[in-house]
Amino acid sequence: MAIDPHALFEAWFAEARAAEPNDPEAMALATADADGRPSVRMVLLKGHDARGFAFYTNSDSRKGIEIAANPRAALLFHWKSLRRQVRIEGPIEPTGGDEADHYFASRSRDARIGAWASDQSRPLDSRALFEARYEAMVGRFEGEDVPRPPYWWGYRVVPERIEFWTDRPHRLHERRLFTRGADGGWSEGLLYP
């Protein structure tokens, strides 16, 4: 029987938080549009448990539109200082509204205002325009709480495959692959490097 890959991820993530100098929660998120054209960008892991790996974004952004059209993704954590990678693949589902509200409320006030000011991924005529929109939102929410915009959501990648990659000398790397079965249990195997 395989060990729980979520427990292994948590152990590796704890080591990354202690050793990685910048953003151990940074992960590459790969999505594809309805025609299968891929796109990848860095996002930040904002939660993980047995349900999956969560991040938050504007649902009208390029990634949000791609997720709506093709709700599958791949994630990659690369912890260079530890010489490790974790690859995750699976479907994406939205987090609940309460979960998104809770995380949004934990962000700094400036970041919450920025979510209102930005038409994420849309063309921008000038930086000055964005800064003016931001200042307008500062005025709009002066003395008030900044609520979560209706287009700002959390997403969770529900893993079907999780690969743990460890660098070894002479490119004889170790690759452990966990695959979720139809019953929800995990099987474990090795891959050639």
pTM over 0.85: yes
CATH for 5-107+148-191? 2.30.110.10
Distance of alpha carbon 87 from alpha carbon 65, whole angstroms: 23
Q: Can you count the helices (H) and strands (E) in the chain?
A: 5, 10
Domain ranges of the chain: 5-107+148-191
Mean of pLDDT values over 41-66: 96
Q: Which residues are catalytic?
A: 171
Helix (H) or strand (E) holding 53: strand 52-58
Determine the pLDDT at residue 2: 62
CA-nearest of 153, 159, 6 to 72 is 159
Question: pLDDT, tens digit, for every residue of 125-176?
Answer: 999 999 999 999 999 999 999 999 999 999 999 999 999 999 999 999 999 9
Cβ pair 43, 29 in contact under 8 A? yes
Question: pLDDT, tens digit, for every residue of 86-108?
Answer: 999 999 999 999 999 999 999 99
pLDDT band at 3 (very low <50, low <70, confident <90, very high): confident
Roughly what angle, to the nearest 10 degrees, separates helices 109-117 and 97-106?
A: 120
- Mean pLDDT across the chain, nearest whole number? 95
